[in-house]
Amino acid sequence: MLIPLGMTIATVASLIGIGGGLLWAPYFILVRGFDPAKAIMFSFLIQVVGMGSATFWNIRHRTVYWRLLAGMGLPIAAGVLLGAFFNQRVANPGIVKGMLGITTIAVSIFFVFQTEKYDASLEEDRSIKAPWWFRIQGLFFGILSGFLSIGISDFLIPVMRSKLKIPMNYAVGTALFLNFSIAFMGSVFHLTFTEHAFTAEMITILILCWVGAIIGGQFGRILSSVIDDSRLKEIFIFALLIIGIHLIYNTL
């Protein structure tokens, strides 16, 4: 079951353009019965593989703005560190579960009102650096991601387009690298702070999910040229609403 599930989540994530954390963490909480700290740690560990595949492709095709990333590295790392620490050592599990539910609903609403008018032609300019306000956003989203294992690409890509005037393919490539960096740092920090011991069963779960994520990530790229993503987004939004409501209900 885990390989097909990994394929499905990775395919949807690559088609919609999100990190898989919004789907993996609720699955481990609601279906596997993991506590939120353990579920979010597993979510990060799986996303490293899924995001790594997409990131490698973008590096090969030179669609990453390295100077912009250099300015975002420190605030995002600090944010992920704080988020992981509070998740593993401070926060009440019920609060984490409730916040994940609220965030899931908020992201679904964000998708409803998100406009994607990316027709303007923009020139490539690799000299762009991260302004101070963009670094503050990186710190905030780093904390949120470290705490709940969510991706940040859908929040940052519109800003890169409208404010920093970065062409779409470079904005996506740079944002995916940020998602991969957050998944990697989140995995390291959560493993550092966790009090959960790894068992053979847990390692087996990870391996099966990794296999599914690798296959699904590649499959999503193939389907992106033939599937109407607007219809898929409608289904995704509805699913997020149901998941978010269920998570909040479980905390009451």
Q: Identify the pLDDT of residue 115.
A: 60
Q: Is the pLDDT of residue 80 over 90?
A: yes
Q: Is 73 exposed, middle or buried (0-12, 13-18, 19+ CB in 10 A)?
A: middle
Q: Is the pLDDT of residue 245 over 60?
A: yes
Q: How confident is the model at residue 219 (pLDDT cuts 50, 70, 90)?
A: confident
CA distance 40 to 148: 6
Q: How confident is the model at residue 185 (pLDDT cuts 50, 70, 90)?
A: very high
**Helix locations, the chain, DSSP H:** 2-16, 21-30, 36-60, 66-85, 93-113, 132-148, 153-162, 168-193, 200-223, 229-251
**What angle is formed at CA 246 by the lines to CA 211 and CA 141, rounded to 5 degrees?**
65
Q: Which two tokens stand for residue 244?
A: 């978010």
Q: Identify the pLDDT of residue 98.
A: 86
CA distance 16 to 14: 6
Q: How confident is the model at residue 160 (pLDDT cuts 50, 70, 90)?
A: confident
Q: How confident is the model at residue 190 (pLDDT cuts 50, 70, 90)?
A: very high
Parse the chain into domains and list their residue ranges: 2-115+125-251
Q: How confident is the model at residue 208 (pLDDT cuts 50, 70, 90)?
A: very high
Q: How confident is the model at residue 220 (pLDDT cuts 50, 70, 90)?
A: low
Q: Which two tokens stand for residue 212?
A: 């599914």
Identity of the amino acid at 65: Y
CA distance 17 to 183: 15
Q: Identify the pLDDT of residue 122.
A: 61
Comparing 165 with 183, the larger pLDDT belongs to 183
Q: Which two tokens stand for residue 61?
A: 């095709």
For 198, which DSSP code? Answer: P
Torsion of CA 58, 106, 109, 180, to 10 degrees: 10
108-152 pLDDT, tens digit each: 787 777 665 554 556 667 778 888 999 998 899 899 889 888 877
Q: Is the pLDDT of residue 16 over 90?
A: no
Comparing 119 with 106, the larger pLDDT belongs to 106
Q: Is the pLDDT of residue 237 over 80?
A: no
